Structure 1
């Protein structure tokens, strides 16, 4: 837990789920820079926050917690960010209804008077969100983006300029930068180009040639990533009424392949990204055939799964949290899989060879075998004893 101090108050903040081994804060210099600008602490006029305030991409609820007195609307693709926001409001004695929580799949407000954008890692997600929010922006809307210097590029500014209006940046302060955008009411409002769709290659097993749907922000939205492609060539051959989980499902290609290979299985697609689960559901519905059933869950991995309820978990864990490199997500996924698997159930993982997932799996499961490998990736199998 760590403290964010503004001119008016201090806030105790934490990521979700809290992990004492996680060295990363729930806020950074970009959040602090934006809050100082809103207060007028840099010598400028404070921003009028009496209208509808929308905060897009608030990573762990730091911005919305600090702005809770103005009853902001938070729009995020992250279930974990929403959960962190609720927890941070509670730990600071702020009523939960002080912030209206929306996902990127929800309809945004009809009118936005102040739009604050925490620039996401995914340029595609920023593009989609600006398109969705543009109709609610008017000539008097204050639009300010924020991010670390390494997160704001010429392409970032070009998106604001193309979709909203004239754009400029601030000087860098503590390696953070602000983006100022002036809405142009005369600018024609184009619809978002997302989602994108592409056909899978013809040599990847049961899902060969199938069409994949990718909403903005989903990893490798315009092509099949090489790690998943390697995984698809080495999935377990199973039959019968298995309970299968595609954990961290992304666009759902792995779970779809498992469902097509074993029609008697019931597959659950889980991701903390609303965009990912929407992509997985559309991919499954378009390819699995009439009558095929599956479950689609936005949440914290297998945290809510009943112990011993799963036969097979398929997992391609991320090793980034926003811009930070960390194995915290993978560790949590492995622990959740171990708890949810029945005795004899299996966790299959694909990952970059250098990440050393086999060490963690061996410690947790007491076993781990390498199913396949190449110079970059390994496919690992661990069995619940």
Structure 2
């Protein structure tokens, strides 16, 4: 990435030489040019929210910025990119969306996330730290910035306007009004599950901002819940890409002797899964882990993996995440262990499972979804 301070070698995480997706985009470049062209003083506490792969904090490292992210993969990419740029450890402070934010913010740079709810949550959490002289600049691609995005900045922080577009990117300029009356945060949000979905019928689900389908049960997960395997006596079960944890909670309720591992790369998701599990008083044993799929889980230590893989990485459509989840599951499963997958019919997961496991069985299907099972031989 070419910046006003020189060129940076950046990569996504995990690094894959075949991956043609960049670790930055035009909105990152636009924001960095603006900071230099307008001579924005980068003094005091500089906070960067939503930095996709660490491009912004790596470029601004000399100013000791604070990065706030919901993504474990972003944190790992940032660490690698900072090391590649020879930035001393500790120069950039890495926080998650679950950590307390800084008490004072002098420069707030916001990479607009895909989730409006996550943006709302972060702006509400940061608003008490903003003062009248705080510089607030948002950035994103034109297709990511909507009227609702601008209204959110204005409602929480102060008067907001946008820049002209450059290379399909746009900036958001906001003048803070710390004395403004702000709404109370609606997050986390809870709701009761509908009937007809087994052990979790009528149970409570807790969702932190930014978690997939935070206000209702999505149809794919509902279909999987209606076709879960019999789990009594299975042993160690993984809810991989757990989201709000409803699937793992369902199997834990079905067999209180099961050991359930909830895994997601989103800090918000894992916090939601733990809150959902505890809200339902499940008597079994559970572990909650933020990480890159099953990396770090011992080989041949798992009996059953249940997953609904994402097929987007931010705005890009890709099967790379699903493939990593499947290969990780195969490594972690004991011989005879099973991987159960819910996915849209058109994604063709059965082809990947046959290639990896040597087998794939259709468990259930409807007009939109399939539930597939692969067994480790």
TM-score normalised by the chain length of structure 1: 0.97
Say whether 1:17 aligns with 2:10.
no
Kindly state the Cα deviation for residue 20 of structure 1 after the two structures are TM-superposed.
2.5
* Separation of aligned partners in 1, 2:49 and 2:237: 34
- Partner of 2:252 in structure 1? 259
Say whether 1:381 aligns with 2:361.
no
- Evaluate the alpha carbon distance shift between residue 239 and residue 185 of structure 1 in structure 2; reply closer, same or farther with a 3 A threshold: closer
- Partner of 1:321 in structure 2? 313
Say whether 1:101 aligns with 2:94.
yes
1:135 and 1:189 in contact (8 A); partners too: no
* Equivalent residue in structure 2 for 1:125, among 103, 118, 123: 118
- Partner of 1:80 in structure 2? 73
Say whether 1:39 aligns with 2:30.
no
* Separation of aligned partners in 1, 2:182 and 2:65: 25
* Equivalent residue in structure 1 for 2:181, among 174, 188, 196: 188
1:195 and 1:215 in contact (8 A); partners too: yes
2:155 and 2:182 in contact (8 A); partners too: no
1:30 and 1:177 in contact (8 A); partners too: yes
* Separation of aligned partners in 1, 2:7 and 2:19: 22
Say whether 1:58 aligns with 2:51.
yes
- Partner of 1:349 in structure 2? 341
Runs of 4+ that moved beyond 3 A:
none
What is the aligned length? 377
Give secondary structure in 2 for the equivalent of 1:97: coil
* Separation of aligned partners in 1, 2:336 and 2:39: 61
Kindly state the Cα deviation for residue 241 of structure 1 after the two structures are TM-superposed.
5.4
Please show how residues 83-162 of structure 1 align to structure 2 within 5 Å. 83-162=76-155
TM-score normalised by the chain length of structure 2: 0.99
Kindly state the Cα deviation for residue 62 of structure 1 after the two structures are TM-superposed.
0.3
* Separation of aligned partners in 1, 2:354 and 2:18: 20
* Separation of aligned partners in 2, 1:164 and 1:188: 10
Write the deviation string for residues 268-289 of structure 1: whole angstroms up to 9, x where unpaired.
0000000000000000011133
- Evaluate the alpha carbon distance shift between residue 257 and residue 132 of structure 1 in structure 2; reply closer, same or farther with a 3 A threshold: same
* Separation of aligned partners in 1, 2:75 and 2:255: 35
* Equivalent residue in structure 2 for 1:238, among 214, 231, 236: 231
Say whether 1:176 aligns with 2:173.
no
Say whether 1:273 aligns with 2:266.
yes
1:160 and 1:181 in contact (8 A); partners too: yes
Task: Name stretches of at least 5 consecutive residues in structure 2 with no aligned partner.
Answer: none
* Separation of aligned partners in 2, 1:355 and 1:22: 19
Give secondary structure in 1 for the equivalent of 2:200: coil
- Partner of 1:207 in structure 2? 200
Task: Name stretches of at least 5 consecutive residues in structure 1 with no aligned partner.
Answer: none
Kindly state the Cα deviation for residue 198 of structure 1 after the two structures are TM-superposed.
0.6
1:256 and 1:288 in contact (8 A); partners too: no
Say whether 1:67 aligns with 2:60.
yes
2:308 and 2:342 in contact (8 A); partners too: yes
* Equivalent residue in structure 2 for 1:48, among 36, 41, 47: 41
- Partner of 1:30 in structure 2? 27
Say whether 1:164 aligns with 2:157.
yes
**CA-atom RMSD, angstroms?**
0.8
Kindly state the Cα deviation for residue 135 of structure 1 after the two structures are TM-superposed.
0.2
* Separation of aligned partners in 1, 2:20 and 2:325: 18
1:113 and 1:138 in contact (8 A); partners too: yes
* Separation of aligned partners in 2, 1:108 and 1:248: 26
Give secondary structure in 1 for the equivalent of 2:8: strand
2:341 and 2:373 in contact (8 A); partners too: yes
1:241 and 1:266 in contact (8 A); partners too: no
1:260 and 1:288 in contact (8 A); partners too: no
Write the deviation string for residues 109-146 of structure 1: whole angstroms up to 9, x where unpaired.
00000000000000000000000000000000000000
- Partner of 1:221 in structure 2? 214
* Separation of aligned partners in 1, 2:184 and 2:68: 19
- Partner of 2:300 in structure 1? 308
Kindly state the Cα deviation for residue 90 of structure 1 after the two structures are TM-superposed.
0.7
Kindly state the Cα deviation for residue 80 of structure 1 after the two structures are TM-superposed.
0.5
Write the deviation string for residues 82-109 of structure 1: whole angstroms up to 9, x where unpaired.
0100000011111121110000000000
Kindly state the Cα deviation for residue 185 of structure 1 after the two structures are TM-superposed.
2.4
* Separation of aligned partners in 1, 2:354 and 2:92: 43
Kindly state the Cα deviation for residue 292 of structure 1 after the two structures are TM-superposed.
2.9
2:257 and 2:285 in contact (8 A); partners too: no
2:265 and 2:292 in contact (8 A); partners too: yes
- Partner of 1:332 in structure 2? 324
